[in-house]
Amino acid sequence: MSKTIINLSLSMVSEELDKILDSELFTLYTQALPESELRHKLIIYVLSRIPGKYAVLEEAEAHHLNPAQLDWASEQRQHIRALIQQGIEQVIAQMKESVEADDSPSRQFASDSVESERNLMPSNWFG
């Protein structure tokens, strides 16, 4: 039989993330950003900050693996939840910065200078 590698860390992070995103506290965040994009960013954020845990299983066993059955220490779960919270705060801060940057005076200046450059194009010189 063929063996496959299972990323147990991803399973655990996904499980905890689902619990948090399903809570009412984070409904506003999922409205501000598509849930799939938010989920993807948060998974990357958390996985890059925890050690990876993997298992090698027979393919038949891998299909029946339930992440909820994995034995994770409560400290590890709390650490993952804290990282998810930090990730949400960081994603929201990045969204806020990008919105503020779009409304910045330098952006307006850039669009004004592009408009003035259009008036200097050779096609405008000769009528």
Please report the DSSP string for 4-69 in residue order: EEEEHHHHHHHHHHHHHHHSGGGHHHHHHS-HHHHHHHHHHHHHTTS---EEEEEHHHHTT--GGG
Q: What is the pLDDT confidence band of residue 69, given thresholds at 50, 70 and 90? A: low
CB contact at 8 A, 99 and 44: no
* Within a domain: 89: yes
Number of neighbours of residue 2 by Cβ within 10 angstroms? 7
Of 8-17, 43-52, 63-72, the least confident: 63-72
Q: What is the pLDDT confidence band of residue 24, given thresholds at 50, 70 and 90? A: low
Q: What is the Cα–Cα distance from 125 to 103, expressed in whole angstroms?
A: 33
- Averaged over 64-78, what is the pLDDT? 77
* Within a domain: 90: yes
- Residue 1 C-beta-side C-alpha neighbours within 13 Å: 9
- How do residues 27-56 score in pLDDT, each as one tens digit? 665 565 667 788 898 999 999 999 998 888
* Within a domain: 56: yes
- Domain ranges, residue 69: 9-113
Counted domains in the chain: 1
CB contact at 8 A, 75 and 50: no
Percent of the chain at pLDDT above 90? 17
* Within a domain: 1: no
* Within a domain: 4: no
Q: Which residue has the higher pLDDT, 80 or 98?
A: 80
Amino acid occupying residue 85: Q
* Total length of the chain: 127
* Within a domain: 51: yes
> Mean pLDDT, the chain, as a whole number?
76
Q: What is the pLDDT confidence band of residue 6, given thresholds at 50, 70 and 90? A: confident
